[in-house]
Amino acid sequence: MTLLVLALPSLVGLLGFYVIPFVLSISLAVVDNSVLWNFVWMQNFKEVLSSGAFQTALKNTGIFMALCVPLNMVMPLFIALLLNSTKSLRTSFGVIALIPLVIPTGSTVHFWQSLFGLNGLINSLLFPDNPVNWLNTDYARWIIVFIFIWKNAGYNMVLFLAGLTSIPKEYYECASLEGAGSMRRFFMITLVYLTPTAFLVLVMSIINSFKSFKEIYLLSGEYPHSSIYMLQHYMNNQFGASNYQKLASASYILSIFIIAMVLGLFLGQNKASRYL
């Protein structure tokens, strides 16, 4: 009984601030406007789904995640593998790797602008005669991916290192005794036993890729170039325009995607751990 009392504040807070208002906001999504409550059921959803801005935002968010998450998993894995073989500098590398995460966005945004902006360093070094505000071109997506990886690779690297060090050495010794080459060892031992860590890295990468909205917003404002206009921009602008109906519908669509994704992750993880 006391256990319930202990957990109660958190439960109440979560329900009260997150879950219940979210369920209530469906009432916003099915009405016409905030003043006259005409039920229009699915019309808002239809409007949102067919709006060009939403589709662009959806496509961009999807592409961004598809680019960032794999890159941000493979690269830290490589670095963690390299670091795993040299025992010495591990902690200092951990600190250095985590520093980009700790630096607040407000401080680094200015630096990125002075690199990629109209009078930026890249322009002066490579294109002195033809400067271009790189954040306003199609390359903007790659810039944001680069910034994202700069910031978050350290976190994933620390996670992977932990996972790597938790694989008992005996497996490797046993395999090399039985004559397995290093490629075989990598694929059959390392990757297999790294699966739970990899799942956690995947989840955290997805969360962090949503958080990268902050950098994009601080760099390019409310209406960035069309290749980096994300779902969060769409919703932010609807919020600013007090267009709560569209906002609520968009939230619901987005959350359906996320719930589907979480379910997929959970089921995949259960299957994978049974295989182990």
Partner 1 sequence: MFPILVTAANSFMSSFEVTSRYTSAITAANGFNISGHIHYVEISLIPDFVTIGQYLKLLFGSPLYLGLFWNSVGITLPVIGGQMLISIPSAYAFEMSKFKYKEIVFFIYITVMLMPLQVVLVPNFLMAELLHINGTSLAVILPGIFNPFGVFIIRQALKGMPKEYIEAANVDGANHLQIIILIIRPMTASAIAALTVLTFIEYWNVVDQAVVFIKDSSAEPLSVYLSRLGNESFGMIFAASCFYMLPPVFVFLFGHNNMVEGIQLSGIK
Query: Which residues ranging from 185 to 214 are in contact with partner 1 (CB under 8 A)?
Result: 196-197, 200-201, 203, 206-207, 210-211, 213-214
Q: Which of 174, 195, 176, 184 is nearest to 276 (CA)?
A: 195
Interface with partner 1 (CB under 8 A), residue from 85, 88, 107, 170? 107
Q: One symbol per residue from 237 to 256: x for binding partner 1 (CB under 8 A), - otherwise; what is it?
A: --x----x--xx--x--xx-
Interface with partner 1 (CB under 8 A), residue from 49, 71, 73, 101? 101
* Residues 37/239, Cβ–Cβ less than 8 Å: no
Interface with partner 1 (CB under 8 A), residue from 42, 66, 89, 98? 98
User: What is the C-alpha separation between 42 and 29, in angstroms, rounded?
Assistant: 8
Q: Does 2 bind partner 1 (CB under 8 A)?
A: yes
The type of residue at 6 is L
Nearer to partner 1, 19 or 74 (CB): 19
Nearer to partner 1, 36 or 102 (CB): 102
**CB 178, min distance to partner 1, A:** 27
Q: One symbol per residue from 146 to 185: x for binding partner 1 (CB under 8 A), - otherwise; what is it?
A: ---------x--xx-xxx--x-------------------
Q: Does 21 bind partner 1 (CB under 8 A)?
A: yes
SS3 category, 3: helix
Q: Does 4 bind partner 1 (CB under 8 A)?
A: yes
Interface with partner 1 (CB under 8 A), residue from 78, 111, 186, 223? 111
Give the binding-site size for partner 1 (rule: CB under 8 A): 88
Select the span of 19-27, 39-47, 134-142, 177-185 touching partner 1 (CB under 8 A): 19-27
* Residues 134/140, Cβ–Cβ less than 8 Å: yes
Residue corresponding to tokens 């997150």: 18
Select the span of 34-42, 79-87, 89-97, 180-188 touching partner 1 (CB under 8 A): 89-97
Three-class SS of 19-81: HHHHHHCHHHHCECCCCCCCECCCHHHHHHHHCHHHHHHHHHHHHHHHHHHHHHHHHHHHHHH
| Alpha helix stretches (DSSP H) within 103-230 | 105-116, 121-126, 140-165, 169-177, 182-185, 191-193, 195-211, 213-220
Interface with partner 1 (CB under 8 A), residue from 36, 88, 104, 274? 104
Q: How far apart are the two ends of the chain, measured CA to CA in Å? A: 36
The residues in 47-66 that bind partner 1, with binding defined as CB under 8 A, are none
